[in-house]
Structure 1
Amino acid sequence: MPSRVRELGVVPGSLPTGPLNAITDVPGIRVGQTTIDDGGDLHTGVTAIVPDGYAAGLPAAIAVGNGYGKLVGSTQVDELGVLETPVLLTGTLSVFRVADALLTWLLDRDPTATSLNPVVGETNDGFLSDIRRRPITPQHVFDALDSASTDLPAEGCVGAGTGTSALGFKAGIGTSSRAVTGGTVGALVQSNFSGTLTVLGTPIHRDPVAEPEGNSCMIVVATDLPLDARQLGRLARRAIFAMARVGSDYSPGSGDYAIAFSTARTGEGMQDRLLRNVFHAVTESTEEALLNSVTMAHTVTGFGGNTQYAVPLELVAERGQDS
């Protein structure tokens, strides 16, 4: 049965987690998801990260590990250091439909808006889902946004992670958090990248099978610490660094992105010398979120009869016992 890595005895890092060990431990962060799974050719969906106060603009930054992807809205975030919409994740060829539906949802809530910068990321779930059908409808997007809550988000084969794979196994959505002095750092990931699954420094190999190369990772980092856009860029880069901890090979066909934002609109950042534990919090929470995205997933047979198998949890548990 799928389990979070802590339930298997695997504890990445040393910092304490928040109460849910999830991005929703950050005050004002809600997550909603819509899953499309017809038991056959369609395994895809939408994941929405909805921060309070986005309409007023939140300090934000984006880091690009490898730019082989379609991250709608990234250049304006780079230019202004501001996030002004929820962050949505989906499958590659649906990203533009999701962005358009997000705009509709936002315009319905602000009759005076004349310019908005939707931020929508993606990974390619075409190995298990018929990606050319682009099955995401506006209602799927609306449902993800309207259902967003502060509860523990579902992980594994749900939302934007329904059809994704990572590190040789079925993967999906994962989340984790860390508590630091003055606030919380949380991460949510959509895992869909290649490499060798590595748990606390020990690799878990699998027999070679047909699987996609690369195909990307989206990482969303949220915090309530008073960080400015420059400092959030430093956090975003460290989130991408954390992919190495779980065995990413950073394939040339992989689009690896991290979006970091703060719900504290103070306009002034912390002193850089105080960021050491914040950096640890980002790498630890991202590492654990990535591992959860794998251990919470189940075996899926999808488009064209392709199958991606769940990781044997007993192997993961052994790594926890060895640490």
Structure 2
Amino acid sequence: MRQRLRRAALGAAFLMIGMGTRVDAQPTRARALGLAPGIFTPGRHNAITDVEGVKVGQVTISEGDSLRTGVTAIVPHGGDLFRDRVPAALHVGNGFGKLLGVTQLRELGEIETPIVLTCTLCIWQAGDALAQWMLARPENAGVRSINPVVGETNDGQLNATRARPGIGAAVQRALASATDGPVMEGSVGAGHGTVMFGWKGGIGTSSRVLPATLGGFRIGVLVQGNYGGVLQMMGAPIGQQLGRYAFQRDVAPANNRSPGDAGAEHGDGSCMIVIATDAPILSRNLERLAARAVMGLARTGSSASNGSGDYVLAFSTASKVRRNPDAVVNTNEELGNDQMSALFQAVTEATEEALYNALLMATPVSSRSSRVNPLPVDSVRLLLRARGIR
């Protein structure tokens, strides 16, 4: 009986795929489809803002027939970011991309500004705007050097990226509007023009809360998804079953190739991943934590292709490990190495779910150069049911 039900669900899914239908036009978070990776429980918002003090602000730029981009800003805490610095670290999964502020971040193991995400050719304007925002704060009147941290992905398929429109003003608005509540996902902010696995990508987020026996720490992840590969969800080969995946033209029968360029892509693109935690961790273990996020990225079907810039930034908001640049001696109470394993598990789970949310919460975006539709949620729902997932 179970096998018959699974075959029926698969048949219905492929019928819907062939008809190109999407009954449920509303974006859907992963958990509504039964996609709940791992064993740990999410926080209240299932977002990076579940880490106390962290705020997110976003501005979407959609102008005329060709500008489809935006800004997403992550603010580590609401205090004096320059003098009450959070320890931070970077892990590079594949370095095909640009990231402002990386050398000082790695040298000092800390950040002194918010983190801004935007489009590839916008990072220099965004960096200048972020520096201006920091220098304009009254407490920074005497500051003569600032290290803005800005990441990017290339949204050139939908966006006239060479135009670089109004990014500076968008950065200022994103920072001014940053809040600690629910985070908008999908085709918003820095995810407005991004593409994932040939479907519309975007911003996604998720969180995990460790049990009290494991410290009760919180960890949140925010992603800017703009990459490819062979999409899978909780092990289900969704990309192959929907007929859209990397290297398809090279391996699929001629009558099973998707139209246009979707089947020709080789998984290129980029993914920015930002991790926040309230666990007291310094840069060495933050880098180890960031490295585990790539495992969550791989679970979605990415193999970090040659043309994929995959960067992970991680920071701790714990007051015990904050860094004062004027201090003669910094004393810290850091979590021991043996206590990191649960956090490694949590960040892998949260990264995977955040990437699912980026896909499932996306909405269609059109421009003069292209139109990219979101993942067909109803087809995915049927394919997941056929594998016993909800």
TM-score range, shorter chain: over 0.9
User: What's the counterpart of residue 287 of structure 2?
Assistant: 233
Supply the RMSD in Å over aligned alpha carbons. Answer: 1.4
The yes-or-no answer on 1:131 pairing with 2:166 is: no
Contact 1:95/1:122, CA 8 A, preserved across alignment: yes
The residue aligned with 2:33 is: 8
**8 Å contact 2:236–2:384 — kept in the other structure?**
no
Name the residue aligned to 1:61. 89
Match of 2:345 among 280, 292, 299: 280
- Partner of residue 308, structure 1: 372
Equivalent residue for 1:48? Answer: 73
Q: 1:220 aligns with which of 274, 283, 286?
A: 274
- Alpha-carbon offset, residue 18 of structure 1: 0.2
Contact kept? 2:207, 2:350, Cα under 8 Å: yes
Check the 8 A contact 1:98/1:136 in 2, yes or no. no
**Segment drifting more, 235-244 vs 100-109:** 235-244
Within a 5 Å distance, the mapping from 1:172-321 to structure 2 comes to 172-180=202-210, 181-205=215-239, 206=244, 207-210=258-261, 214-266=268-320, 267-304=332-369, 306-321=370-385
The one of 107, 132, 152 aligned to 1:122: 152
Tell me the CA shift for residue 303 of structure 1: 3.7
Q: Percent identity?
A: 49
CA distance in 2, matches of 1:84, 1:47: 17
What do residues 203-237 of structure 1 show as CA deviations (whole Å, max 9, x unaligned)?
21223542565121000000011011100001111
Q: Does 1:165 align with 2:199?
A: no
Tell me whether 70-79 or 47-56 shows the greater mean CA deviation: 47-56
More moved, 293-302 vs 171-180: 293-302
In the alignment, the residues of structure 2 paired with residue 140 and residue 292 of structure 1 have an alpha-carbon distance, to the nearest angstrom, of: 24
User: 2:71·2:167 contact (CA, 8 Å) conserved in 1?
Assistant: no
Query: Alpha carbons of 1:30 and 1:302: their partners in 2 closer, same or farther (altered >3 Å)?
Result: same
Deviation string 1:72-95 (CA, Å, 9 cap, x unpaired) is 001111111001110000000001
Q: Is the 8 A contact 1:228 1:268 kept in 2?
A: no
Name 2:132's counterpart in structure 1: 104
Matched, 1:147 2:196: no
Separation in 2 of the partners of 1:179 and 1:39? 43
CA distance in 2: counterparts of 1:81 and 1:137, whole angstroms: 28
Aligned length: 322
Higher Rg of the two aligned structures: 2
d(CA) in 1 for partners of 2:37 and 2:286?
22
Q: Is the 8 A contact 2:209 2:217 kept in 1?
A: yes
Structure 1: distance between partners of 2:260 and 2:295: 27
Q: Which runs of 5+ in 1 are unaligned?
A: none
Equivalent of residue 34 in structure 1, options 33, 38, 59: 59
